[in-house]
Amino acid sequence: MKSQNCRLKTLLPLAVLLVCVLVVGCAPSVSGSCNDCTSGVMLRVPNVPSSEWPWSQNYYPPSLYPIPNVMPLGSIVRSHWHVMQENAEASDFVIYRNEFVGNTSELTPGGLDHIAEIAARMPATPFPVVIQRTMYNSDPELDAVRWQLIVRLLADLGNFDASRRVFVAEPYSAELSAGRAASMFGSN
C-alpha cells in the first residue's frame, strides 16, 4: 500500500502539469487560426471539424511548423510487401535442375507444364527466365543446349523475345538440403 502511495505522489505533479497545459494552451477557433496566441502552440479541441484535424494545413500552419509530408498509414510497410511480391513472381520464372531428366536437356512432365505457364505469363511481365546452371557450372555445354531448348519452346509458344529474356544462372533463392528442408517444413 505504501509503494502505491509513493507512485501516486510522483504521478500527481505530472497530471497537474498536463491539465495546466491543456487548459492554458491556445486552441484554434473554428476557422483554424490562432492569432491571439503568442506562443504558437495549438491544441486540438474535441469539437473541431474534420478539416481541422492534425493532417490538415489549418491545424498546423506550415508557417509555424514546417512539417514534412507525412506518408499515409501503412504505406512504408506496403512497399516492403510489394517488393516481396515482385520477388516471388520473379522466382516463378526460374527453371530448376530438377525439371530436367537427370543430366540431359529433356524436360520432365512437370518441367513442360512449367514452361507452358511461363510462356503464358511472359508477355505481361518483365521478368527474365532463369535456367539453373549445372552444379558448380560443371557442364557449360549442357547449359547451352538447355538454353537453346527453352528459347525454342518459348518462341514456339509465341514469345519471340525469348532469346533476349532467357539466361543460364543461379536462381534467386539458395538451395536447401533435404534435411534442412524437412526441418523447416516440420517447424511450420
Domain match, 40 and 81 both: no
Mean of the per-residue pLDDT values of the chain:
77
Closest Cα partner for 3 from 17, 11, 14, 16? 11
Flag whether 67 is in a domain: no
pTM of the model: 0.57
Handedness of CA 165, 167, 169, 171 (dihedral sign): positive
- Express each pLDDT in 119-165 by its tens digit: 999 999 999 999 999 988 999 999 999 999 999 999 999 999 999 99
Phi, psi of 34 (to 5 degrees): -140, 65
Domain match, 155 and 87 both: yes
Domain match, 93 and 145 both: yes
Give the CATH number of the domain where residue 181 resides: 3.30.1330
Which residue range is the domain that position 176 belongs to?
76-187
Q: How confident is the model at residue 78 (pLDDT cuts 50, 70, 90)?
A: confident
